[in-house]
Amino acid sequence: MLADARLIGSELATNSFVSGSPPLVLCVDRRSLTGGGLEIEITVTDGGCPRPAPVPTTAPDEQAESGRGLFIVDALADAWSLTTGTNGSRAWCRLTHRPCCSSASA
């Protein structure tokens, strides 16, 4: 999960750096869940972009050097959103890890 969070954070920050304008702000919040588990929220904001890039609906060509970032976020995050505009952009996602097994004692 932490490797996924690092990858998503990198992808969102890179998108913001390439497409947005200053200031770029990356926030990572980590919460322990009741009963075990962990939740991580990642938010990246920037000053916006003059021409918001369209959100891709199809994966890029296998040889393409870019264009996979949001597909990676979609595949790894439990929930995510992207809002772009000329006055500011915000990308947000949540990853949740819950223990897979609990041992019950009788």
pTM score of the predicted model: 0.80
103: in domain: no
Alpha carbon of 37 to those of 53, 69, 71, 81: distances in Å? Answer: 36, 26, 25, 23
Which structural domain range is residue 13 located in?
Answer: 2-52+66-97
What's the total number of domains in the chain? 1
Q: Is residue 83 part of a domain?
A: yes
**Residue 57 is assigned to a structural domain of this protein:** no
Domain CATH number, residue 87: 3.30.565.10
* pLDDT tens readout for residues 24-58: 999 999 999 988 899 999 999 999 987 756 666 66
Q: What angle do CA 62, 13, 74 make, to 5 degrees?
A: 50
pLDDT score for 1: 83
